[in-house]
Amino acid sequence: MNFDLLISFMIATSVLALSPGPDNIYVLMQGVVNGKTYGLATVAGLIAGCLVHTTLVAFGVSAIIKESDTLFFIIKLLGALYLLFLAFKVYKSSAELSLNSDNIPKKSLLQLFKQGFIMNVLNPKVSIFFLAFFPGFLFSDTLSTVVQFYSLGFLFMFVSGIIFSVIAVLAGSISEYIKQNNKIGLYLKWLQIIVFVGIAILIFTSKK
């Protein structure tokens, strides 16, 4: 079992969870506007949705790996290209973080959980990202690929859940810090680019 690979996976997941995106910005604004409990309800829904994507990727990619070395190589190649495309999109995007709390309606905890869950499950980009991200971090020669994909999925949910929860709890302080430090968006932008490119290289050079 390659624990170094698992540690690398957790570090990459941490950076991606911290990088500005629709999910953590939504959690942040729920925490700012409605309070930390409502932010945490949103986090719970988002993280629960990841289990659906993990299941789809675990069984789908595992079948492909068993079926053909060529198909697995194609999956790796497309995954690496997709991550490089994401890096390019981040590079072309603005580094400015826009925190607009207007028009955020008050909802119940259950409504926020459901909304977070549905936001995640109905976003095909999450499955595509998992499909691109996970194969490069298969960490064992003895465990089945299904078990490994689920292990990576739960690790992803655990690390992202902790970071998103911290964002929800400290939403007020974080939003004030972002407003007072204009360069934080630029730092996170380049950190995200480096991680995407690094993972793309790792995936393309990984072995079955």
pLDDT of residue 105: 64
The pTM (predicted TM-score) of the whole model is 0.83
Report domain extents, the chain.
23-94+109-205
- Note the pLDDT tens digit of each residue in 44-75: 999 999 999 999 888 887 777 767 778 778 87
Match 């089945």 to its residue by tokens: 144
Taking only Cα atoms into account, the Rg of the chain, rounded to an integer number of angstroms, comes to 18
13 vs 95, higher pLDDT: 13
45, with CB counted inside 10 A (0-12, 13-18, 19+), is buried
Which pair of structure tokens corresponds to residue 168?
């929800």
